[in-house]
Chains A and B, each alone.
Chain A
């Protein structure tokens, strides 16, 4: 018998209580020092695994039985509470659903944020490039970065539509556009400007006062 085969047989001894060495292995061990040394080492390990295979001590088993029966009694008395609060599966399911909803919200909100930021940047670039001499356009006046600027007849945006006809739905996005466009007098010009930037289609505004 080869040493490798003998060692595999010896390995079984470490974990299987019932396993014993067959005669052929025993004979090999008598003539092979290396395998015999391996056998001794495995025997030591066997002592440890056999100790781990012994039952752990259950202290005060009567108390455990009592606790279990009491817990059953409580569970029977409060089935609704148990169903609601101790159902870990439901809690886990809700947690997962909330996490998924958060991810979806971040993606949807992120896409819209990107579209608006991108379009607003184009709007800003375009407006700064256009001459201010044209009294009808007066584009630079349209772009005011500070939304807190006190302007009489404050402009409130009702609806913003992208070129692809998609409407900006979130108020926070509308507020960002509002921070740029604040001049009620230039309604028409704003929409001309928007079309020219190739980003927005239309902005409908109403005077909040």
Chain B
């Protein structure tokens, strides 16, 4: 194994580890929200700086590898993919930290999740998609990637249903606006996590095949327009 491949393998391991940390952060944040544990929520937010530092270090190493080895083919795709996934994982961690921060509002607004079975489904689905994504990173498996992309549709569906439920319930209550805002913000973070996991899955497909599957329809339309003009 060349030095570049050795170093790339190490970065990939770090990324995998970072994925597990992010997964833990989301689990902790959701548990804190459910328990109304403000302290635990703040903890998740404070620990986010560790993930931020890890993200910067991984990016620095990738830039060093690009500059020192001028990689090509699979090595080049791997570095580009790591840089993008690194960024997406950090954003997922930010969203988890955001959920942690909002636990305070959950308590202040006296929100009981028992009234919202939809939130549980959404939270469960977000954790599941992140779990699948992190495991896919460890195995760089593109068949799981397609499953992740499909699974995001389910999350979007849960999200839309949940927002309707919140508006129906809280919207009719006097002073229910704050609670509705908090709930929708929490749900929005989970919905975004689904989107970012989709991005990661698309990056894994690029790593494996060299195909960019992102915005496939838009790209097709664009090339049709070019042919037409």
Do A and B interact with each other, yes or no?
A: no
What residues make up the interface of B, taking CB atoms closer than 8 Å to A?
none
Q: Please give the residue numbers on chain A whose beta carbons come within 8 Å of chain B beta carbons, in ascending order.
A: none
